[in-house]
Structure 1
Amino acid sequence: MFNTVLLTIDLNAKASWDKALPAAVELVRTSGGKLHIMSVVPDIGSPLVDGFFPPDYEKLAVEAASKALDKLVEDQVPSDIAVKQHLAFGKIHRKVLRVIEQIDCDLVVMASHKPDRVREFLVGSNADRIVRRSPVSVLVIRA
Structure 2
Amino acid sequence: MFTKALFPVDLEDIVTAEHALKYLNGILSKGQEIHLLGVLPGFNMPVVASYFPEGAIETAIAAMEHQLTELAELNLADNVHWEVHVAEGAPHREIVKTAKRLDCDLIAIPSHNHSLVEKVLLGSVTAKVVEQASCSVFVMR
Q: Is the TM value for this pair above 0.5?
A: yes
| Length, aligned pairs only | 141
Deviation of the 1:53 alpha carbon: 3.5
2:15 matched to which residue of 1?
A: 15
Q: Is the 8 A contact 1:7 1:24 kept in 2?
A: no
Amino acid at match of 2:5: V
Deviation of the 1:46 alpha carbon: 7.8
Q: Encode CA deviations 1:44-92: one digit per residue, 9 max, x unaligned.
A: 5987665543343322211211111121122221101011111112111
Matched residues in 1 for 2:49 and 2:115: separation?
A: 26
Amino acid at match of 2:58: K
Structure 2 gap ranges (5+): none
Deviation of the 1:126 alpha carbon: 1.0
Instruction: Please report the RMSD computed on the Cα atoms of aligned residues, expressed in angstroms.
Output: 2.1
Matched residues in 2 for 1:26 and 1:111: separation?
A: 16
1:39 matched to which residue of 2?
A: 38
Q: Is the 8 A contact 2:3 2:32 kept in 1?
A: yes
**Structure 1 length-normalised TM:** 0.85
Q: Is the 8 A contact 1:16 1:110 kept in 2?
A: no
Amino acid at match of 1:17: A
Moved more, 54-63 or 111-120: 54-63
2:65 matched to which residue of 1?
A: 66
Q: Is the 8 A contact 2:7 2:36 kept in 1?
A: yes
Amino acid at match of 1:121: V
SS of 2:86's partner is strand
SS of 1:120's partner is helix
Q: Is the 8 A contact 2:39 2:89 kept in 1?
A: yes
